[in-house]
Amino acid sequence: FATARVSEGIPRIAAVLTDGWSNNPLATVQAAQAVHNDGIYVYSIGIGNRISYQELVSIASSGQGNVFNVSGFSSSDFGGVLRQLQVSTCSKIATTIPKGSSRLLQYEFPSMGMTLKVDITVGNLVVHGSFSVQNPNELTQDFSVMSNGNDIDYFISPELMRQSTNNDNNDGRRTKRQAPMPANATNANVYLSIVGLNDDNTFVLNTTFGDTTESFPSSGTSVLGSMVLIMAALLCFFLFIWI
């Protein structure tokens, strides 16, 4: 990791595999924390059932979300983990594209769907996606999402993949596939085309299995907080009338 291209936005990622537990749990936790503090993103993989799940959680970055457990050492055991690691790790690189240029990506589409997160530091983007067209655009797409000055947080659902190819989009355009839809969702791919809309567009792409979109805004007044404010205002009003 000493020669890693951190200055170019290349992330440092490590995977720890174990079929047991540490002889010195405290030292393990301290070493893991030092690695986290150094900016290295860690996944922990436990093999078999003679492991300490809590220790795996302490080793991994971001807790339980980066912990995996497989039953053995065979390729079939590791297949699902490798696919998820590919989805999670192969995208966390800062990329800059000029206006009109695109970055093409291909993923094996998981049966539970996947969430597309694009953190945009400069510019605006539109993402065209397809389950059959390798270079999707506004005419040959199954879905499309635009940043409009915000980051992109979008769930690509299995239902979306199974939708009819002739459904109208909200703006009246029709999606168009160039090939028949795969019958088996577990063998499907999803193709993405990320297109720059401004002169310079810098972003970091991250994809995760399942629906991990943010359900609620991270800032602002909560519903409960709003109700408290309303009740306080009403109380003040009635006290004013009574006085």
Q: Percent of the chain at pLDDT above 70?
A: 70
Average pLDDT over the chain reads: 77
Report the CATH number that the domain containing residue 28 is assigned in CATH: 3.40.50.410
Question: Would 219 be classed as within a structural domain?
Answer: no
Q: Which among 28, 33, 35, 74 is positioned nearest to 51, based on CA atoms?
A: 28
- pLDDT tens, position by position, 87-106: 666 556 678 899 999 999 88
Report the CATH number that the domain containing residue 114 is assigned in CATH: 2.60.120
Give the range of the structural domain holding residue 175, as residue numbers without chain letter: 94-209
- pLDDT tens, position by position, 211-234: 888 754 444 444 444 454 455 555
Q: Which residues contact 169 (CB under 8 A, 6 or more apart)?
A: 144, 175
Domain count, the chain: 2
Quick one: pLDDT at residue 228? 45
Question: Would 222 be classed as within a structural domain?
Answer: no
Q: What is the mean pLDDT of residues 79-90?
A: 70
Residue whose pair of structure tokens reads 């893991």 in the numeric block: 32
Strands 125-130 and 189-196 turn out to be antiparallel
Residue 191 reports pLDDT greater than 80:
yes
Residue 236 reports pLDDT greater than 80:
no
Query: How many helices and strands (H and E) does the chain possess?
Result: 5, 11
Same domain flag for 84 and 113: no
Question: Would 242 be classed as within a structural domain?
Answer: no
Residue 135 reports pLDDT greater than 90:
yes
Q: Is residue 120 a contact partner of residue 157, using CB atoms and an 8 Å limit?
A: no
pTM here is 0.55
* Residue 184 to residue 158: CA distance in whole angstroms: 11
Question: Would 228 be classed as within a structural domain?
Answer: no
Per-residue pLDDT band for 72 (boundaries 50, 70, 90) equals: confident
Same domain flag for 152 and 175: yes
| Lowest mean pLDDT segment, chosen from 29-43, 64-78, 166-180, 181-195 | 166-180
Same domain flag for 182 and 164: yes
* Residue 143 to residue 235: CA distance in whole angstroms: 49
Same domain flag for 159 and 64: no
Question: Would 70 be classed as within a structural domain?
Answer: yes
Question: Would 15 be classed as within a structural domain?
Answer: yes
* Residue 69 to residue 67: CA distance in whole angstroms: 7
Quick one: pLDDT at residue 187? 59
| Lowest mean pLDDT segment, chosen from 6-15, 57-66, 76-85, 145-154 | 6-15
